[in-house]
Amino acid sequence: MNTPRRIALGIALGLLFLWAQQNGYLDWAPVVGPAGPVDHVVVVYESGDRTAEQADVMLGDTSNELRAVGKWRSWDIDEIPESVREKIQEMIGGYSLPVVILFHGDWLTTDPLPLPATDDGLRELIEKHGGF
């Protein structure tokens, strides 16, 4: 096969993959990281700025279900355990608190996300990223 044909074939395949990805025909999760249920949900907040609505979400049904199976952690920004403090602070740098961080094993599932306003919103966020 001559060089111009190879180049044309490469461009055509690249465009085909781009189109398939943008139209939802390719699932990249197995390629870029683990799929399946989240292993840990971490919420970092500032206790002095926490509202009653945020407290309701962090103490709601979803967080209680996650607590029951050992997948929920919530920490005041000033009380993050020493063993993970540096890693968590690096992750949330530049984000407004409170944030939700989702993990599959040691893989960060998403960038830190704002804490949803409702318990149902928290459940939907977790389900969107693999459920628990």
Residue bearing tokens 């926490």: 50
CATH fold group of domain 33-128: Glutaredoxin (3.40.30)
pLDDT at 31 over 80: no
Q: What percent of the chain has pLDDT over 90?
A: 46
pLDDT at 124 over 70: yes
Q: How far is CA 93 from CA 73, 97, 108, in A?
A: 18, 10, 15
Residue 99, CB half-sphere, CA atoms under 13 Å: how many? 16
Domain layout of the chain by residue ranges: 1-28, 33-128
Using one digit for the tens of pLDDT, what is the confidence trace for 83-113? 888 988 888 888 999 999 998 877 777 789 9
Nearest to 90 by CA among 73, 111, 74: 111
Predicted TM-score of the model (pTM): 0.70
Burial, 76: exposed, middle or buried (Cβ in 10 Å; 0-12, 13-18, 19+)?
Answer: middle
